[in-house]
Chain A
Amino acid sequence: MLTMLQGLGRTALDFFQRLGRGHLLLLQILSGSHTLLPRFGLVIKQVFSVGVLSLLIILVSGLFVGMVLGLQGYNTLVDFGAEESLGVVVSLSLVRELGPVVSALLFAGRAGSALTAEIGLMKATEQLSAMEMMAVDPVRRVLAPRFWAGVISMPLLAAIFSAVGVIGGYFVGVGLLGVDDGAYWSQMQANVDLYKDILNGVIKSFVFGIVVTWIAIFEGNDAVPTSEGVSRATTRTVVHSSLAVLGLDFILTALMFGS
């Protein structure tokens, strides 16, 4: 009993310590970011490895998710004779929910885990320590560019995901199932609101971008510097950031569309 309580206490302490270290790191990253302005190339380079290299998985998944939405939406709508509204159903599902959420989950798996592994290995091989001793602050030189690259890439990837999904839904709905071409697009145009739907979706993916990249960078930087430690940290990144995305999605949805 006592050991159980002790264990619980230790776990809680550990949790709050990590939370504290995580916030401290975020503060350091943010306060060191001004040094990136004259060296924006560093961020661009990371946008390539964080964003562009995630593009393929985002495109393929977006296409399939859109196709499934087209199929499911059509089957439901046709019962009410409302298959003309397919464009609205597909685009609203994507822009409000599936675009930001699914692309953030994919981003956590593809880019987040890679970030953690890369930073963790740099720590384990003393590259970060060596930089410190060369008077190059690794927070500014290594972590901050990756953080901003993630924050910039995520909304763009989500937008691409949604756009490709809409096209996927169009293939299935209009191409295969015979929904009217004009109705698909015009209904979509008339019923998707720039602020209420699209902007809120962008805000969501922006928040997800911050959270996923932050977790990934923190886990890498906080990893136990051994190969086992790095592999554990990588797993933690995927699990924690996926949970964070789903939890935050509920909160954000409630705030945005609740009333």
Chain B
Amino acid sequence: MTDNNSLLEPPLVKIRNLSFSRGAHKIFDGINLDIQRGKVTAIMGPSGTGKTTLLRLIGGQLHPDAGTVEVDGQSVPKLGHSKLYQLRKRMGMLFQNGALLTDINVFDNVAFPLREHTRLSPRLIRTLVLMKLEAVGLRGARDLMPSELSGGMSRRVALARAVVMDPMIMMYDEPFTGQDPISMGVLVRLIRSLNDALGLSSIIVSHDIQETAAIADYIYLLSGGKVVAEGTTEDLYASESEWAQQFLQGEPDGPVPFHYPARDFTEDMLDLPAGGAN
């Protein structure tokens, strides 16, 4: 373990004993997480473990059943409408598919938060938007509609839009999924350089080990509603944890079972009546 938890500065995001369920399905069962300022923190785990759900809890779109979520010292679930919206102005989130507004072009998409929240002159908005588009390499695509963009381009436009208000924290939901190797490389570099150049703190939610491990300062591994391993990349590769080993090596079976819970295979094939039909 590193001295991650003993840094003097309080963490930007502090999650304690967080529990959250969807119906009978318990997605989080008392997890603890810290997101340190200025760092890139990765949250990894198999699909369906609740990575997206975690980001929504941090952003206040969902409410925990128990436990606390604090962002910059404020308890997110306790905030009223206007306080929550004030806080969100300082958060950026990159959605899995970009989530660009489909009825306006690239330029207007990036300008959207500025026009909604500020009274800047059109001239200044133009300058700011073009700067952000330049940073993601898409200044030339400003007049295209979202439907004319490739997946990788959409994600970069969404990235420009997410940082246009200069947030203190950026959350990336599976930024690498479904990207070709080139745009993957572009995104990896962008996330790291934005984090360092703008003094952000970043959370990457992902199951792409190589790319994420390459830029993360600290990694949490989630599975079955719990944090099963945490540490720096080196820590995890060196760790004894079966969870970490299975996940990092991509082994099909291990502590994370390959099979969805089911009754015994032989029994099922012979269709012995074991506690019900089907």
The closest CB in chain B to the CB of A39 belongs to: B116
Q: A125-B102, A135-B86 are in contact. Are A130 and B93 (CB under 8 A)?
A: yes
For the residues of A in contact with B, the DSSP-based class is helix
Q: Is A12 an interface residue (CB 8 A)?
A: no
**Does B59 contact A134, Cβ atoms closer than 8 Å?**
no
The closest CB in chain A to the CB of B88 belongs to: A135
**B116 contacts across to A, CB distance below 8 A:** 134-136, 141
Binding site for B on A (CB under 8 A): 121-122, 125-127, 129-137, 141
Bound together, the chains give a CA A136 to CA B88 distance in angstroms of 9
Q: Is B91 an interface residue (CB 8 A)?
A: yes
Most buried by B among A132, A134, A135: A134
Q: Is B85 an interface residue (CB 8 A)?
A: yes
Number of interface residues of B (CB under 8 A): 25
**Does B101 contact A133, Cβ atoms closer than 8 Å?**
no
Counting residue pairs across A and B whose Cβ atoms lie within 8 Å, the total is 54
6 pairs, CB–CB < 8 Å, chain A vs chain B: A130-B100, A130-B101, A134-B116, A134-B165, A135-B117, A136-B117
Bound together, the chains give a CA A131 to CA B102 distance in angstroms of 12
Bound together, the chains give a CA A157 to CA B49 distance in angstroms of 51
Bound together, the chains give a CA A130 to CA B161 distance in angstroms of 10
**A121 contacts across to B, CB distance below 8 A:** 102
**Does B113 contact A127, Cβ atoms closer than 8 Å?**
no
Q: A137-B85, A141-B116 are in contact. Are A132 and B61 (CB under 8 A)?
A: yes
**Does A136 contact B113, Cβ atoms closer than 8 Å?**
yes
Question: In the complex, given contacts A127-B100, A135-B85, what are 10 additional A-B residue pairs having Cβ atoms less than 8 angstroms apart?
Answer: A125-B97, A126-B99, A130-B95, A133-B88, A133-B92, A133-B93, A134-B165, A135-B86, A135-B89, A137-B81
> Which 8 pairs of residues, A with B, have the shortest CB-CB distance?
A130-B99, A135-B88, A126-B99, A133-B93, A135-B89, A135-B85, A134-B113, A136-B116
Least Cβ–Cβ distance between A24 and chain B, in angstroms: 14
Bound together, the chains give a CA A132 to CA B101 distance in angstroms of 13
Chain B 88-120: CB-based contact to A (< 8 A → 1; otherwise 0) = 110111011101111000000000110011000
**Does B97 contact A133, Cβ atoms closer than 8 Å?**
no
**Does B61 contact A133, Cβ atoms closer than 8 Å?**
yes
**A122 contacts across to B, CB distance below 8 A:** 102
Most buried by A among B59, B88, B158: B88
The closest CB in chain B to the CB of A132 belongs to: B61
**Does A129 contact B112, Cβ atoms closer than 8 Å?**
no
Bound together, the chains give a CA A48 to CA B59 distance in angstroms of 34
Least Cβ–Cβ distance between B276 and chain A, in angstroms: 15
**Does A127 contact B102, Cβ atoms closer than 8 Å?**
yes
Least Cβ–Cβ distance between B202 and chain A, in angstroms: 15
Least Cβ–Cβ distance between A39 and chain B, in angstroms: 10
Chain B 11-52: CB-based contact to A (< 8 A → 1; otherwise 0) = 000000000000000000000000000000000000000000
**B92 contacts across to A, CB distance below 8 A:** 133
The closest CB in chain A to the CB of B112 belongs to: A134
**Does A126 contact B117, Cβ atoms closer than 8 Å?**
no
Bound together, the chains give a CA A126 to CA B96 distance in angstroms of 9
Q: A135-B85, A135-B89, A137-B85 are in contact. Are A129 and B113 (CB under 8 A)?
A: no
The closest CB in chain A to the CB of B55 belongs to: A133
**Does A133 contact B85, Cβ atoms closer than 8 Å?**
no
The closest CB in chain B to the CB of A121 belongs to: B102
Bound together, the chains give a CA A134 to CA B158 distance in angstroms of 11
**A132 contacts across to B, CB distance below 8 A:** 59, 61, 88
Least Cβ–Cβ distance between B54 and chain A, in angstroms: 14
The closest CB in chain B to the CB of A135 belongs to: B88
Q: Which of B86, B91, B95, B165 contacts A129 (CB 8 A)?
A: B95
Bound together, the chains give a CA A136 to CA B109 distance in angstroms of 13
**Does B95 contact A126, Cβ atoms closer than 8 Å?**
yes
Least Cβ–Cβ distance between B78 and chain A, in angstroms: 18
Q: A126-B95, A126-B97 are in contact. Are A133 and B59 (CB under 8 A)?
A: yes
Bound together, the chains give a CA A135 to CA B165 distance in angstroms of 11
Bound together, the chains give a CA A141 to CA B116 distance in angstroms of 9
Bound together, the chains give a CA A125 to CA B147 distance in angstroms of 12
The closest CB in chain B to the CB of A125 belongs to: B99
The closest CB in chain B to the CB of A118 belongs to: B103
**A130 contacts across to B, CB distance below 8 A:** 93, 95, 99-101, 158
**B89 contacts across to A, CB distance below 8 A:** 135
Bound together, the chains give a CA A135 to CA B115 distance in angstroms of 12
**B59 contacts across to A, CB distance below 8 A:** 132-133
**Does A134 contact B95, Cβ atoms closer than 8 Å?**
no
Bound together, the chains give a CA A122 to CA B197 distance in angstroms of 33
